[in-house]
């Protein structure tokens, strides 16, 4: 991150947090309410800095934590108090298509002063999140996101279950959101909108009290528009899930998270505080959050060895192969592309239409179909990132296996995969969920500038 020195100056006394506010209802049959509205939030501590105008669910950034059980039905009444249309996407959930929340594809955007009920079953346990899916490059950057946690009876017992939503904000000198930078063609053609201020759960370097010798589940969510984060946990840490899906339990202290990716760790603490450090974006580790160890009289769970999960095997054969040649962006090799039925030079596309990225030589939009497949078929999206930039590719409605160029598969399944520049890999999934499903880059400016298309399952 930039401004590391200034950050540390104003954060010598970190604020103490317990958790993101949780949304609950008195009666299970009643719908919860999420209201998108404008409010203010102090992003940088210190009286000399201003509170920033933000957009938020229920006036909190992140929005309220939704924590339910596998098999529950989530029922949400979304109320839009913004002055532009919006919607909610439930990221990573294998959802009913009509509830997926993609404005302009699975539903019309919810108009100002409008309301929409989302209601669907939660069939997969794991760490997920919700965020606006209308004009996402602006609305998510302003704060419209929150965590969705689905618990399972088989989850390992822990003393503390903590969600960390990690974000970067592009701030002006007075610590308010840099409004002038929205829609920057530079961001759309380069690495996306990269911020200069890091927050965890909307705070700068928050501290969480945890019991000495306790077992902690730490759920990490990258909510940034475009920033890739590297997180280091200097403790006895075991990676147990990625993108909500179980992976082979492995002792490790590090993980790389592209935008929208998640990772869960089980951490066995001793009696020392633990600083969770960001390591990807600078020469020195950057303290993102603190686990402060305290003496408590409560009884702790038994630290039983973590069992290895049974993982689904990828299909032995592929019914449908979808070639996907990704090109464009600054310093790329894209000279022209098809846009709305006409072949146009890249300079015209960028300057006149703010489009800069192409799938298979075509600038893609929500109404553009990448492929049509039949229900139950095994599908391989054969991706070649032929650009100079990384891309976090996200498939709605499904989880996929990742097959590397040598033919081997990465353990476990994902819903978002971070392609490095020049990388080739196949994203393999079973088309078991009917509907129109968006496949796009979660560097949100890249999506707006052409990196998104639809796979129809029927």
Q: What is the pLDDT of residues 137-148, one digit of tens each?
A: 999 999 999 999
Question: Is 301 part of a structural domain of the chain?
Answer: no
Cβ partners under 8 Å of residue 138, min gap 6: 182, 183
Residues 44 and 95 in one domain: yes
> Is residue 420 within 8 Å of residue 258, measured between CB atoms?
no
Sign of the CA dihedral with 244 first, then 247, 253, and 257 last: negative
Least confident of 26-35, 74-83, 113-122, 144-153: 26-35
Q: Please say if the pLDDT value at position 52 is more than 80.
A: yes
Domain of 140?
4-294
Is 209 found in the same domain as 169?
yes
Are 242 and 338 found together in one domain? no
Same domain, 412 and 270: no
What pLDDT band is residue 1 in, cutting at 50, 70 and 90?
very low
Distance (Å, whole) CA 108 – CA 103: 5
Q: How confident is the model at residue 216 (pLDDT cuts 50, 70, 90)?
A: very high
Predicted confidence at residue 10, as pLDDT, reads 37
**In a domain? residue 312:** no
Q: Residue 305: inside a domain, yes or no?
A: no
- Are 330 and 224 contained in the same domain? no
Does 248 lie in the same domain as 110?
yes
pLDDT-based confidence at 21, cuts 50/70/90?
confident
Q: What separation in angstroms does the CA of 273 have from each of 15, 207, 438? A: 15, 10, 42
Tell me the backbone φ, ψ of residue 180, rounded to 5 degrees.
-65, -20
Task: Answer whether residue 13 shows pLDDT above 90.
Answer: no
Arithmetic mean of pLDDT, 172-198:
96
Distance CA 397, CA 323 (A): 20
Task: Please indicate, yes or no, whether residues 119 and 241 belong to a single structural domain of this protein.
Answer: yes
- Contact, 394 vs 451, CB < 8 A? no
Task: Assess if residue 245 is contained within a domain.
Answer: yes
Q: Which has the closest alpha carbon to 457: 387, 386, 372, 370? A: 372
Domain count, the chain: 2
Is 50 exceeded by the pLDDT of residue 410? yes
| Bridge partners (DSSP) listed for residue 164 | 220
Nearest to 60 by CA among 112, 19, 92, 7: 19
| Domain contains 403 | yes
Q: Is residue 142 part of a domain?
A: yes
CB-based contacts of 179, cutoff 8 Å, min separation 6: 172
Domain identity same for 331 and 282: no
pLDDT at 298: 79
Determine, yes or no, domain membership for 308. no
Q: What is the greatest pairwise CA distance in the chain?
A: 70
The proportion of the chain whose per-residue pLDDT surpasses 70, expressed as a percent, equals 95
74 plus 118 within the same structural domain:
yes
- Among residues 137, 156, 351, 361, the alpha carbon closest in space to that of 246 is found at 156
Cβ neighbours of residue 7 closer than 8 Å, sequence gap 6 or more: 1, 197, 198, 204, 205, 286
Q: Looking at residue 375, what is its pLDDT?
A: 98
Do residue 336 and residue 284 come from a single domain? no
Per-residue pLDDT tens digits for 235-259:
999 999 999 999 999 999 999 999 9
Residues 338 and 411 in one domain: yes
Span 55-69, pLDDT tens digits:
999 999 999 999 999
Is residue 187 a part of any domain in this protein? yes
What's the pLDDT band for 26 if we cut at 50, 70, 90? very low
Residue 135 sits in the same domain as residue 186: yes
Judge residue 379's burial from the number of C-beta atoms within 10 Å of its C-beta, 0-12 exposed, 13-18 middle, 19 or more buried.
buried
pLDDT of residue 25: 52
Query: What is the DSSP annotation of 43-83?
Result: -S-STTSPPEEEEEETTBSSPPBEEEETTPEEEEEEEE-SS
Helix ranges, 116-168 (H) = 136-139
For residue 227, the domain's CATH number is 2.60.40.420
């Amino acid at each position: 991150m930039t401004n590391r020195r200034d950050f540390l100056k104003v954060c010598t006394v970190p604020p103490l947090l317990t958790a993101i506010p949780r949304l609950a209802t008195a009666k299970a049959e009643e719908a919860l309410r999420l209201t998108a509205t404008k409010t203010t939030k102090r992003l940088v501590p210190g009286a000399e800095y201003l509170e920033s105008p933000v957009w938020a669910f229920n006036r909190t950034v992140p929005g309220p934590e939704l924590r339910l059980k596998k098999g529950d039905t989530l029922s949400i009444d979304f109320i839009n108090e913004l002055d532009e249309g919006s919607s909610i996407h439930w990221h990573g959930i294998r959802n009913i298509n009509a509830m997926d929340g993609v404005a302009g594809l699975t539903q019309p955007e919810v108009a100002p002063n409008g309301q929409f009920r989302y209601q669907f079953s939660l069939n997969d346990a794991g760490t997920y999140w919700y965020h606006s899916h209308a004009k996402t490059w602006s609305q998510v950057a302003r704060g419209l996101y929150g965590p969705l946690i689905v618990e399972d009876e088989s989850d390992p017992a822990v003393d503390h279950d903590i969600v960390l939503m990690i974000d970067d904000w592009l701030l002006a000198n007075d610590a308010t959101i840099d409004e002038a930078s929205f829609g920057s063609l530079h961001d759309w053609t380069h690495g996306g909108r990269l911020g200069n201020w890091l927050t965890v759960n909307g705070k700068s370097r928050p501290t969480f009290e945890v019991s000495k010798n306790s077992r902690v589940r730490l759920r990490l969510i990258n909510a940034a528009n475009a920033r890739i984060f590297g997180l280091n946990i200097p403790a006895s840490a075991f990676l147990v899930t990625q993108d909500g899906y179980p992976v082979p339990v492995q002792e490790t202290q590090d993980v790389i998270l592209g935008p929208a990716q998640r990772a869960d760790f089980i951490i066995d603490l001793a009696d020392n505080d633990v600083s969770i450090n960001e390591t990807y974006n600078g020469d020195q580790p950057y303290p993102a959050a603190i686990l402060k160890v305290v003496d408590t009289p409560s009884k702790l769970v038994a630290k039983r060895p973590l069992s290895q999960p049974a993982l689904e095997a990828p299909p032995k054969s592929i019914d449908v192969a979808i070639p996907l040649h990704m090109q464009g962006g600054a310093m790329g090799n894209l000279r022209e592309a098809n846009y709305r039925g006409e072949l146009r030079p890249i300079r015209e596309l960028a300057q006149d239409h703010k489009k800069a990225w192409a799938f298979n030589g075509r600038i893609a939009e929500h109404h553009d179909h990448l492929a049509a497949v039949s229900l139950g078929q095994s599908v391989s999206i054969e991706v070649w990132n032929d650009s100079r930039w990384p891309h976090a590719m996200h498939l709605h409605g499904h989880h996929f296996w990742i097959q590397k160029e040598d033919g081997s598969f990465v353990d476990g399944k994902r819903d978002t995969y971070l392609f490095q520049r020049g990388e080739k890999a196949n994203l393999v999934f079973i088309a078991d969920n009917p509907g129109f499903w968006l496949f796009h880059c979660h560097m949100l400016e890249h999506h707006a500038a052409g990196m998104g298309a639809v796979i129809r399952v029927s």
